[in-house]
Structure 1
């Protein structure tokens, strides 16, 4: 077998090792038997929430086992075909099997990344907050660009995107925006995006066409499931209503229906201004509980703590990623070293490479560059 194909096969084998580790392959058949026995219990649906969780967990295990077995069998079959083709001198068989192994590598790598999304809240929906930082109009425009980038990314994933609140910039762009993004593993994918994002470009608002640097912060919180108890005392919060300052026209609220909740112990402030006052209260309270839950997750994970410390003031020294449009084209993540010159693709939502590199680093403690150097 050619050295190049052997290297590809070895990479697939490493992906299989990680898949086996994440699902605990040795105990998987036994756990599936237990799931099946519980599914047959006639009292299962007496507790619908517990039953739904059991069915979800069972399906995740079934899918993980099927993925592992499918990739492993396809790899073995094609290696056998290569050996047979080489033995019989059939170049066409060898070529087809090599092409299949190359294609399998991409699928195995994708499944490997998905397997890393097994954190406590990774499967949940998520809230995404964007706040313009240092840079005035420049940063408001940059915040608007980032909002578009994440919406495009979510749409490509097939996720549902709901705008929770938005504050327009004085001249252009937005000062802030909050979204709820719904879909399997939405939080798991987006959690690595918390931090300050730095843009360097020729300003479209500067008549002298000078280069400007802008900062915008992004914060990500998991949507808390109903079965996760987060206590919020009424004495710890203040609820204010105000008139929304939306995009204008028929969408402007003409009554004080927008809601702001301030949580005194933590200083957290959440708002919702897109629906009726009753709905806004519900949305804002869910957002507050998600923020409080994120604080609890932070306490349990040093890596997450460090990521959120990086999401401090939106300015120099706190950025996690740089987007340079002038004098050259480059987007680089400062945590993992992952970079690309396809700035247009990134701003159009091609973010999986950056997210995948951070997920891999969270598991190994090393950047992708460090891991590849070993």
Structure 2
């Protein structure tokens, strides 16, 4: 196919922070590379990027040497610098991770060791030292992690879009992908437009496995959506910064926590419950086809058997504000049920393997003329700049191979 037959060099599906960071990284690494981004929503960052608590994660939780650990530590510093450079609201607040039960103390100490292995400065606090950071928080011990912060990720995404130089087509939902190794990749949108590129980059988040299958690739996983439900704290003066419980290492969620955002409000949550649609932001949103596909995936059944007890607790907190309040009161006894005001929910795009294993690291796979980002939940927003560079590196290598340039 002649060069003029292409609309772009790189066709990115997904206008969240990872897709836009990839377009931005390509423009910086290879100026002149033509990039088109297809985003099905009318603007950027409408799902995972724009529906979270806005935390810039330090990287303390992640296995040393993993992509999550390396990219979160590096990405946190880069995100703060990017926000400062572009005038985006942000702050480096630090955070407390608080043990409230004796059985959590060994896990808290192990977490401190992991943080230090990841290059972080971590201070271990006794019960009497907690009040110096958070007067209303009670616990047996805590960690203070200074590198944690907050920012406006939707504003970051908008700035990446503007600075990338890419053609960004909003309201363009890809419904079919035709990939021919000798000709290129073409995406058909719901509006009937066809966009042709030399290499496809799949950053479709909640729909990334579907895009991979449309491309003809078996992703080896399925996205199982988990809804995170949030409240706002009616008495934000109770919390100065960010307060987290000690996470359960068997489950990829951090537990109900309290985070003061850039708007000075305090977000409480999230819990994690199965969503009945990929964009199921409440119990009323049900998409039978998507739900049936989730239930049919063998990994979903293995996951349910393995974590049913934990999941029952999450469901209870979803249906009972009193139960949710009790989870919060473990950290902040002064919180009352009336202090919790419902706030917008988010949905986590969690990759689940066939055997029920929850993918615990970023998952990026290459195929002929395609790069698929198949698992990029939190801390992907924090790590979006280094993730974008890595996806850009692989994409540019694929372009170079097409041109006969040695990789």
TM-score (norm 2): 0.29
Q: Using CA pairs below 8 Å that are at least 6 residues apart, which structure has the higher relative contact order?
A: 2
Structure with higher helix content: 1
TM-score (norm 1): 0.31
Larger Rg: 1
Structure with higher strand content: 2
